[in-house]
Amino acid sequence: MLASKDVMATIAVKNIDAAKTFYGETLDLKLLPGDMPDVLTYQSGQACVVVYTSEFAATNRATSATWSVGDEFDAIIKTLQGKGVKFEHYDMPEGKLEGDVHVMGDYKGAWFKDPDGNVLHVLNQ
């Protein structure tokens, strides 16, 4: 039923203008045309990230969206650091923290927050 369908991340924010700057400029996602007030849709690979205003923004402390970036991981982390993105550091007993990157065997992952505190994730898989 849904296995062959693309899925999109849908992320609630309080400040749509700050979100537009972050997702469009900091993350370099392409804004798609739309006419819904307080809703922004960005192209991300073959899928989309929808950002919309909500009174419930940033109430989820879990990961809201993950980008699987493969071999570009290190370059993307460096670019985000250069744009001032602050990464989260978590206590993960099964892995180790190398700078801003959590390493568990061949897995590398990094988490950061958007301006409303939504947790976003980049991984090398």
Beta bridge partners of 96: 103
pTM for the whole thing?
A: 0.91
Encode pLDDT of 51-97 as tens digits.
999 999 989 889 999 999 999 999 999 999 999 999 999 998 888 99
What confidence tens digit (pLDDT) does each residue in 7-51 have?
A: 899 999 999 999 999 999 999 999 999 888 899 999 999 999 999
Q: Which of 55, 23, 59, 58 is nearest to 41 (CA)?
A: 23
The 10 Å Cβ neighbour count of residue 70 is: 9
